[in-house]
Amino acid sequence: RAKAEGGSVAHGFEAAMDSWARSRRRRETDLHEAFARGELALAYQPVLGVRSRAILGFEALLRWQHSVEGAIPPSDFVPLAEETGLIVPIGAWVLRQACAEASLWADPIRVAVNLSPVQFRDPGLVATVREALALSGLAPQRLELEVTESVLLAASEANVATLHALRQLGVRIAMDDFGTGYCSLSYLQRFPFDTIKIDRSFVNRLGDDPHSTAIVRAVIGLGASLGIVTVAEGVETEAQFAQLRAEGCGEVQGYLFGRPAPAAEARRLIRREPDLAA
C-alpha cells in the first residue's frame, strides 16, 4: 500500500512538472507573440523634486496588456523574458520607445529606463542605447539607466566596463532598489553612480520603524557626501514625504504623486506644470 502511494506521489510529481513545463512553454510563446503583436506598453511614473515639487522626470515601466488576463505586471513576465533571453529585444524596444516618448517632453524632463542584468550579457547593449538616442534625438543627459545591484555582483568586471561605456554616451546611471542587495555599500565603490534610488521597503516604514528611518537618513547623508542624487521610491503618504524632506532627500517617486500611467497622461501632467507650460 505504502509502495503504491509512493508511486502515485512520484507520478503526481512528474505530472505536475510536466504541466508546469507546458504552462511555462505556453507563457513563453504567449509573451513572444504579445511582443510581436504590440501588446507590450510602457507606463510612466513621475519623479518630483522634493523642494520644488516639480516634475523632473518619469520612470518607464513595462506593462503587458494581455487579451484575456488583462494587465500583467512585470514581476510576472520579466523573469520569464530574462530566462529566455527575450528581454534583449524587449529591452531594446523599451529603450527606443522611452527615448522617443521623452523627446516629446519639455526639456530637461528625463526618462528612466530599467535594464536587466541579462541585457548586460548582450554585446550590443551600448550600441542599442546609442541608437535609441540617435533615432529619437533625445539629449543623452535626459536618459537615465537604472540597474540593480545584481549587475555588480562578483566577477562582473565586464559589466562595470559596460557601465563606463554607457556613461561615456552621456547618459546617467542609477542604482535601483538600493539597500536590498547583499552588499549595497561596496557597489558604490565599484561604479560612480549618478543616482541612488532608495528602495520602497525602507520608505514604507519611515516613521514607524526606527531602523528604516535610520537607514534612509544614512543613505541620504551618504548621497550628499558623495555628490549622488537620492531618490526615494514608493512614497505613499504626506508623512513620509515630510520626513524625506526633513532628511534632505533630493527626489521622490510614489503613488502620493502619481501612479504609473499611459504616455498620454504623462504628457498631460507635463503640460499642467506651471514652469514648463510656457
The grid coordinates listed for 147 are 540597474
Residue 167 makes CB contacts below 8 A (sequence gap 6+) with 173
CA 105 to chain centre: 20
144 near Mg ion, rule: CB under 5 A: no
The residue among 114 and 128 lying less far from ligand C2E, judged by its C-beta, is 114
Q: H or E element: which one contains 113?
A: strand 110-114
Q: Judge whether 66 and 104 are in contact, CB under 8 Å.
A: no
177 near ligand C2E, rule: CB under 6 A: yes
The grid coordinates listed for 70 are 488583462
Long-range contacts of 76-80 (CB under 8 A, 24+ apart): 77/27, 77/31, 78/116, 80/24, 80/27, 80/28, 80/31
Q: Which does 136 bind (CB under 5 to 8 A by kind): Mg ion, ligand C2E, none?
A: none
**Among positions 7, 73, 85, 108, the unique one binding ligand C2E when judged by CB under 6 A:** 73
**Among positions 48, 62, 228, 269, the unique one binding ligand C2E when judged by CB under 6 A:** 62
In the beta sheet, which residues pair with residue 64? 40, 72
Q: Judge whether 137 and 166 are in contact, CB under 8 Å.
A: no
**Among positions 179, 181, 223, 234, the unique one binding ligand C2E when judged by CB under 6 A:** 234
Q: Which does 255 bind (CB under 5 to 8 A by kind): Mg ion, ligand C2E, none?
A: ligand C2E
Closest approach of Cβ 198 to ligand C2E, in Å? 11
Stretch that binds ligand C2E, among 73-81, 101-109, 213-221, 223-231 (CB under 6 A): 73-81
Q: Which does 94 bind (CB under 5 to 8 A by kind): Mg ion, ligand C2E, none?
A: ligand C2E
Task: Report DSSP state, residue 105.
Answer: S
Site mask for ligand C2E (CB under 6 A), range 147-166, x = bound: --------------------
Closest approach of Cβ 202 to ligand C2E, in Å? 12
Cα-based angle 123, 159, 182 (whole degrees, multiple of 5)? 140
Residue positions counted in the chain: 278
In the chain, DSSP finds a helix count (H) and a strand count (E) of 10, 9
136 near ligand C2E, rule: CB under 6 A: no
The grid coordinates listed for 238 are 504626506
Separation CA 88–CA 144 (nearest Å): 18
159 near Mg ion, rule: CB under 5 A: no
Q: Which does 57 bind (CB under 5 to 8 A by kind): ligand C2E, Mg ion, none?
A: none
Stretch that binds Mg ion, among 112-120, 123-131, 215-223, 237-245 (CB under 5 A): 112-120
The residue among 88 and 111 lying less far from Mg ion, judged by its C-beta, is 111
Query: Any idea of the CA torsion for 213, 215, 221, 224, to the nearest 10 degrees?
Result: -110
Site mask for ligand C2E (CB under 6 A), range 8-47, x = bound: -------------------------------------x--
Residues that bind Mg ion (CB under 5 A): 114, 146, 176-177, 233
